[in-house]
Structure 1
Amino acid sequence: MTVGDRIPDVLGTDQNGNEIKSGDYRGRKLVLYSYPRANTSGCTAEACSLQAHKSELEAAGYAVVGVSKDKQAAQKKFADAHGLDFPLIADTETTLQQALGCWGEKVACGRRTIGTLRTTYLVNEDGVIEKIFTPKEIKTKIHAEQILDYINGK
């Protein structure tokens, strides 16, 4: 997907077993971010950054939703361990990630693998992507600040 595309209607099932749809966020903006694996250092730093700045994101009109290939139980454990109070979609079949374009070839430790490409989509009130942060742009420890800087035009 690219800027200007509408995100899929059905996003998936979160850590609490709730079906999450893009229509749930109509009239609100959305930070939809993909991460490779729950409870790893980079993914934890990114999630905690978003949680720490969640009130600022909400004040700017944004809800936060994460997605990874992890199973629902792993997403729940991750959320509970780090006090994450936003949906984490268990995209075990990579359906959403493939639709978004954040599932593909990457190089890790000199090896080529297929997996989740850390990507963040800022979605407007109508479900249309307005900004994409690519893997090379994202700094996990300060990612929420990067998003807020973009939103505030810095």
Structure 2
Amino acid sequence: MGQKKLSRNARCPCDSGLKYKACCYNKGFHYVVDDDGTISRSVPLNEEAVALLEEQRERFIAKHGRPPGPDDFIFDPEDMPDEETLTAEMVAAMSKAGIHPALIHAYQKTGLLLTEENRHLMPTSHVKEFEDAVDEYYALHPEEDEGLDS
């Protein structure tokens, strides 16, 4: 199945309501459209992520005796904790690392981890959703200082 880049004049798939060229076009990713019209986000992988995926591919071959197909999971679901456990472990790790409670709240609300390093890889609507969750935290905790750089 072939893929091509989304037209700059199309509506941005991030649901901001803007044209793609005025919204997410110049970010560190791009949207692609396959032959049946399905739009997906293509994000470049760093070397560490490429190595991890290759390691997972080798594990899959060792376990199943064949390369993974398009409908196979990258990570074996049997090896993954359920979403509730994963979220609880992530929140515990964030707290232990000293992450600001507003960012932890935003993670719990959105499932996103927005940083200065990855902000350019996030669709505009995701950035807004995360920032709205940070604002919500401060509305719920007005006694806290809003000196947070997300």
Name whichever structure is richer in helix by fraction: 2
- Report the TM-score when normalising by structure 2: 0.24
Name whichever structure is richer in strand by fraction: 1
Mark the structure with the bigger radius of gyration: 2
- Report the TM-score when normalising by structure 1: 0.23
**Larger relative contact order (Cα-Cα within 8 Å, sequence gap ≥ 6):** 1
